[in-house]
Amino acid sequence: MTTFGKQALAGLRVLLVLTLITGVLYPAAVWAVSRLPGLQANAEATNTTLVAVTREGDGWFFPRPSAATLPASGGSNKGELNEDYNAVVAERRAEVAQREGVAEDLVPQDAVTASASGLDPHISDAYARLQVPRVARANGLSEDAVRALIIECTDGRGLGILGEPGVNVTALNRALESAR
Amino acid sequence: MSETVAGLLQVGLLIVALAVVYRPFGDYMARVYTSTKHSRVERAIYRTARVDPGSEQRWGTYAQAVIAFSFVGVVVLYVLQRIQSVLPFDFGRGNVSPGMAFNTAISFVTNTNWQSYVPESVMGHTTQMVGLTVQNFLSAAVGMAVAVALLRGFLRSQTDRLGNFWVDLTRGTIRILLPVAGLFAIVLVATGVVMSLKSGVTVDGQTVATAPVASQEAIKELGTNGGGVLNANSAHPFENPNGWSNLIEIFLILLIPVCLTRTFGTMVGNRKQGYVLLGVMGVLWTAMLAVIWTAEANGLRPLEGKETRFGIPSSALFANTTTATSTGAVNAMHDSFTGLGGGGTLLNMLFGEMTPGGVGTGLYSILVMAIIAMFLAGLMVGRTPEYLGKKLGRREVAAAAVSILAMPTVMLVGAGIAAILPATQGALNNPGSHGLSEILYAYASASNNNGSAFAGITVTNDWFQASLGVCMALGRFIPIIAVLCLAGSLAKQKRVPVTAGTLPTTGPLFATLLTGAIVLVAALTFIPALALGPIAEALL
């Protein structure tokens, strides 16, 4: 047999052995450890607030626009000089302004731009506060009570410096659900 | 605290974390590749696979082993995808189509991890674990093995032996990648990363796909692989839930490429040789971070394609790191970046990915560039150049030149053909110069084995699947063969003594020369193409 053939056969044997270790035992071990209490809820995304989906109706806070096709994730991948997409953004701005009854220039950027994952659980504090009057009215709650929920559902930066703060919409809508 | 201040402190924390592990981890890796002892697990692996760990290989045999191993890797991964429907945990996703399976197999074996597929609807969990995760480990270990073989070329004299590929591969996997990945997979679960064998989870009435993410996430970053377990990659909250996980993932991407400069210095017996390479890498990494960050902060619509929890600084930091290494994981969509910011990520790849570059590949790429820099310096003073006690003659410089020129050739030819094909117009997601950038980015990413994308481009037609697959293979294996040839030729030489005429390669003069060589080679090769794509967009 040629040297290359011999090397390929040796390679195949090495590949199979290392597949057992890195492709079977390794993920199995990580999976097994992730069953530990304290880790399992994370591992299985139990009652997760890590992702947000739109809940229809005036009684809910809206997350950011999404370009994802559920159950998959994804962004718009539109550049900032794309005229067609600029029109879509302008349309969203008009829609949000009308829905919340405010002027268009008060609509924050995160309300009209699609996130990278299409599942972004957070919105800016400004966008959350913009939605308060409508949500309070629809749920028969006072605006102060709703604002208190926003503060409760705001995630800060890790260690005070990692990432950016935001209001978790999924957590907020669930808090709303139990408050009304 | 303002976004900018927090972002700068985060960069500071990242650098401190890398500084803390730099010496111990770099020296540990040096011991892994120089130790003469085999562990019990390794001996069992050699016995089972019937390879002789004691025999040393010539450069040609070493190269043949790399190619043969990668070849069977592609075949096995292709077959695995094509029979997916009979494997458990496929959730009815069926067999992967031939073109896509071909492209994906090459992609993961070459450490590119370019993804023409949407994982949530195409890949089952078994293929992800038994196929893709395995190549996340092994392609990274191959890169380190080639780098170590090149170091042996510098270290040894008057021998034709470079070490044993199977031993280098096994040790890199078992002693370096596996323990670190295992530890950090658990850490990532603790931060909130998902590790589920279910197909999805119901959130407020809608189904969102899940997967065994954490185990692959850790090696995906550590091995500078970058293939997302889910479509949005590290922008997906299940892959990267918060600021903590984000910093950990960036740290993992940089860990091995950065610490390998210490391994290099330790192995060649002069740590300053490693520090100077790290310095050059660090300067270019920092400069490009400043460009991307500033560009994004001044964008018209900076939050498009970015996650709220990462904002601009953490997205810029990740984007810069993933393209300056050969990772390609993304926590924001580069396609929605500004002309200058997206152009910065593209330029990072076009530097040849050595700032600090991929696992192993970054070190051997910058060593090759150091040879080019010394050659240029030699031309200026009319003296045969030397590096690390070896003369750089015709053969060495030719091998270095082939290694450096492979990527630009493959990339520009591929992108050029794609740009004139009529079908390409329909594959683009953006008009004008940004559309051209999508093509340039795709071929730069494939030819550099990066794997990130201006992801709006649809690359599922046969031309893209085939041509990008070929670019990935040539962009990976031409440099590897050239580098091993170079190593073989260096190992044969006698060591030349240091004289008054030797240009020291530990000082600022050499650092400047090397930085200049990296920037100039990229600029001379790519400015015409960049002028029509990102530069045009940035000026509009």
Under DSSP, the state recorded for A158 is: B
Confidence (pLDDT) at B531:
96
Q: For residue B169, what is the nearest residue in chain A, using CA coordinates?
A: A14
Quick check: B242 and A14 CB within 8 A? no
Structural domain for A134, as ranges: 83-179
Angle (deg, nearest 10), helices B432-447 and B394-420: 140
Contacts of A55 in chain B (CB under 8 A): 204-205
A30 part of a folded domain: yes
Residues near A52 by beta carbon (within 8 Å), at least 6 away in sequence: A63, A64, A119, A120, A121, A122, A168, A169, A170, B203
In a domain, A105, yes or no: yes
**Which two three-digit tokens encode residue A136?**
């309070």
Residues A80, B336: C-beta atoms closer than 8 Å: yes
The 8-class DSSP code of residue A162 comes to: B
Same domain, A174 and A87: yes
CA-nearest residue to B4 within chain A is: A161
Q: Is residue A96 part of a domain?
A: yes
Cβ neighbours of residue B159 closer than 8 Å, sequence gap 6 or more: B491, B492
Residues A32 and A102 in one domain: no
Q: Are residues A87 and A174 in the same domain?
A: yes
Say if residues A53 and B313 touch (Cβ distance below 8 Å).
no
Let me know if residue A70 belongs to a domain: no
Determine, for residues A13 and B51 on separate chains, whether the beta-carbon distance falls below 8 Å.
yes
Q: Which residues contact B23 (CB under 8 A, 6 or more apart)?
A: B262
Does the beta carbon of B471 lie under 8 angstroms from any beta carbon of chain A? no
pLDDT at site B457: 95
pLDDT of residue B392: 96
Task: Indicate if A94 and A170 belong to the same structural domain.
Answer: yes
How would you class B47 by CB atoms within 10 Å of its CB: exposed for 0-12, middle for 13-18, buried for 19 or more? exposed
Q: Which of A1, A18, A56 to mutate to test the interface with B (most CBs of B within 10 A)?
A: A18
Q: What is the mean pLDDT of chain A?
A: 96
Distance CA B309, CA B189 (A): 18
The alpha carbon of residue B302 is apart from the nearest alpha carbon of chain A, in Å, by: 8
Residue type, A21: I
10 Å CB burial of residue B418 (0-12, 13-18, 19+) is: buried
Q: Are residues A102 and A155 part of one domain?
A: yes
A120 belongs to a structural domain? yes
Quote the pLDDT of residue B164: 98
Does the pLDDT of residue A1 top 80, yes or no? no
Please report the pLDDT score of residue A28 as a whole number. 98
pLDDT along chain B (540 residues), means of 10: 95 98 98 97 96 96 98 98 97 96 98 96 97 98 98 97 98 98 98 97 96 98 97 98 98 98 97 98 98 97 97 98 97 97 97 97 98 95 92 96 97 97 94 95 98 95 97 98 98 92 92 97 95 93
Is B180 an interface residue toward A (CB < 8 Å)?
A: no
Mutate to test the interface with A, among B137, B201, B303, B535 (most CBs of A within 10 A): B303
Q: What span, in angstroms and rounded, lies between the C-alpha atoms of B285 and B288?
A: 5
Give a yes or no: residue A164 inside a domain.
Answer: yes
Same domain, A28 and A90: no
Minimal Cβ distance to A26: which of B69, B215, B244: B215
**Is position A142 within any domain?**
yes
Which comes out higher in pLDDT, residue B355 or A179?
B355
- pLDDT tens-digit map of B399-412: 999 999 999 999 99
A68 in a structural domain: no
CB contact (8 A) between residue A79 and residue B342: yes
- Could you tell me if A28 and A95 lie in one domain? no
Question: Sign of the CA dihedral B332, B334, B335, B337?
Answer: positive
Residue among A22, A45, A78 whose CB faces B133 most closely? A22
**Residue A155's pLDDT band (boundaries 50, 70, 90)?**
very high
For residue A3, name the pLDDT band (cuts at 50, 70, 90). Answer: confident
Across the A:B interface, residue pairs with CB atoms under 8 Å apart total 336
pLDDT of residue B15: 98
Number of domains making up chain A: 2
Q: Which of B72, B204, B342 sits opposite A8 (nearest CB)?
A: B72
Does an H or E element contain A142, and which? Answer: none
For residues A24 and A101, state if they share a domain.
no
Interface of B with A in 380-409 (CB under 8 A): none
From chain A, the residues in CB contact with B338 under 8 A are 80
Contact A31 B10 (CB under 8 A): no
* Residues A27 and A113 occupy one common structural domain: no
On the 0-12 / 13-18 / 19+ scale of CB atoms within 10 A, B118 is middle
